[in-house]
Structure 1
């Protein structure tokens, strides 16, 4: 039994309509439950009338975050992992996880509607098999595109932070040697790095806020290193902890650490330069060597063909 293109299109539209209907019902039920919960927390049960009403929750407010919130995985560890990945990519909002899941859902469903609309306008140019293949391709792309965007953004931010980390250490060392405390030095460095390295500035501002809130310095620097995702930042955290525990001079420790970091970066640059010749071997063999052989042998081959042909 084969379905006609119109029947296939109708089935796909029905499936998408049922999906959106289920999502809308789920969002409405959870919104109603949130209203009841807010009334109970305020001391006003939902079944009792005549008391002061609470503030109404706007249904349209943060609708994207509301839909995505109830599509998240129930595992708290998985949600924490996604939240950490989003923070590394620069999304620090409390609603970033629901919005991420809502965007991932939209990336799957919206292209399907666009495809169906295109098929309806174009008409017979789309066969059912071609429509199904394009639909599957769009679903696969929609499933992996948001994650790829987050990873790409995280890598770009890590490269930017790694580029500015030596300047951050130099400024921090200069401020401490000038007589500032570590907290005041961090505030000054965050202001100085704001224009050139905004990634470092945002993470330094978060670090300063954690210190102002009373978090232990080692824990605040550990969170700072995890957000940046740099080995240099993790090493700085360990160095500061050891310096604080042993009572050594922070300026001398920072100077030694900065010198070691620059030596390490120089060794990495030399390693990459030495590996360049080995990486160029394959392009030389595949592209340049055949071209040289053709340039050397073509004149001789032409002369031989003229000699033996004449």
Structure 2
């Protein structure tokens, strides 16, 4: 076995190719974080391995720089380097998870605006496929992530993909429960012959109310957070100001 095949085997082992569901979930997370491509899983595994080795080398250099390597048993400095490797190996996963969560939050924040614009397009006489294309083109500069997903869904529908599958993929990639319910509402309206404009109007109004409720929830949590911050930064200084004269008087009495 040559070097390239050994490297591929190691990357396949580290990327967890044993389970297709776990592999697909990891690929979706990388896509949400902004990393895509045919070999993204192997690249991600290589970056994790490189990060772990770099952290282990940094830990070893720290031991040498502090001049305590000679005073430590072998198992202790090996354990310290292994801990550094573990921290470095975990760091890319935490970064990808954070970037993916930001992507999901942006999709949830931008969805009500997209639904309002889609409602305008549908009421103007455009079909659902045309409204998706129009929304994707109009929101490209304002909300690029959601516009890209709408454009991909529109292209899939033009290519002849089933509407249920296209909207299911849209909801799966974005990890948005509102898009899942949106897909169910659209499919139900199409199957039952309900006017799509009425469905959009009701659903857009519900989304707007849900958005306001989320804003109100965050606003209601703000006084509690401010109270904790105020206590953390105000109470110690206040106690110091009040107790310093008493402590000084007690010390002077001895």
Determine if the TM-score, normalized by the shorter chain, exceeds 0.5: yes
Q: Deviations over 1:105-134 (max 9, x none)?
A: 222234445666x58x96967446575354
Tell me, yes or no, if the aligned pair for 2:56 and 2:82 is still in contact at 8 Å.
Answer: no
For structure 2, the residue ranges without an aligned partner over 5 or more in a row are: none
Tell me, yes or no, if the aligned pair for 2:55 and 2:87 is still in contact at 8 Å.
Answer: no
Q: Deviations over 1:252-276 (max 9, x none)?
A: 2111111111111212222222233
Q: Deviations over 1:279-306 (max 9, x none)?
A: 444334443244445556767x59x959
Tell me, yes or no, if the aligned pair for 1:107 and 1:143 is still in contact at 8 Å.
Answer: yes
Question: Measured at CA, do residues 241 and 65 of structure 1 come closer, stay the same or move farther in structure 2, by a change above 3 Å?
Answer: farther
Tell me, yes or no, if the aligned pair for 1:68 and 1:98 is still in contact at 8 Å.
Answer: yes
> Which stretch shows the higher mean deviation, 162-171 or 125-134?
125-134
How far 1:187 sits from its partner (Å)?
A: 1.1
TM-score by length of 2: 0.80
2:137 maps to 1:160: no
Question: Measured at CA, do residues 217 and 268 of structure 1 come closer, stay the same or move farther in structure 2, by a change above 3 Å?
Answer: same
Question: Measured at CA, do residues 298 and 115 of structure 1 come closer, stay the same or move farther in structure 2, by a change above 3 Å?
Answer: closer
Tell me, yes or no, if the aligned pair for 2:171 and 2:180 is still in contact at 8 Å.
Answer: yes
Question: Residue in 2 aligned with 1:88?
Answer: 32
Instruction: Quote the Cα distance in structure 2 between the aligned partners of 1:284 and 1:125.
Output: 42
Question: Residue in 2 aligned with 1:28?
Answer: 5
Tell me, yes or no, if the aligned pair for 1:69 and 1:98 is still in contact at 8 Å.
Answer: yes
For structure 1, the residue ranges without an aligned partner over 5 or more in a row are: 1-23, 30-63
How far 1:137 sits from its partner (Å)?
A: 3.0
Higher relative contact order (CA 8 A, sep 6+): 2
Which of 206, 219, 222 is equivalent to 1:260? 206
Question: Residue in 2 aligned with 1:39?
Answer: none
2:85 maps to 1:108: no
Query: Cα RMSD (Å) of the superposition?
Result: 3.4
Q: Deviations over 1:64-90 (max 9, x none)?
A: 878624644323232222222223323
Question: Residue in 1 aligned with 2:11?
Answer: 68
Name which one, 1 or 2, has greater alpha-carbon Rg.
Answer: 1
Q: 2:35 is paired with a residue of what secondary structure? A: coil
Query: How do 1:67-216 residues align onto structure 2 when only pairs under 5 Å count?
Result: 68-69=11-12, 71-73=14-16, 74-112=18-56, 118=61, 126-127=69-70, 131-216=77-162
Give aligned pairs, total.
248
Tell me, yes or no, if the aligned pair for 2:122 and 2:197 is still in contact at 8 Å.
Answer: yes
How far 1:154 sits from its partner (Å)?
A: 0.3
Query: How do 1:222-237 residues align onto structure 2 when only pairs under 5 Å count?
Result: 222-237=168-183
2:165 maps to 1:219: yes
Structure with the bigger percentage of helix: 2
Tell me, yes or no, if the aligned pair for 2:56 and 2:83 is still in contact at 8 Å.
Answer: no
Instruction: Quote the Cα distance in structure 2 between the aligned partners of 1:252 and 1:175.
Output: 13
Question: Measured at CA, do residues 159 and 72 of structure 1 come closer, stay the same or move farther in structure 2, by a change above 3 Å?
Answer: closer
Question: Measured at CA, do residues 114 and 256 of structure 1 come closer, stay the same or move farther in structure 2, by a change above 3 Å?
Answer: same
TM-score by length of 1: 0.67
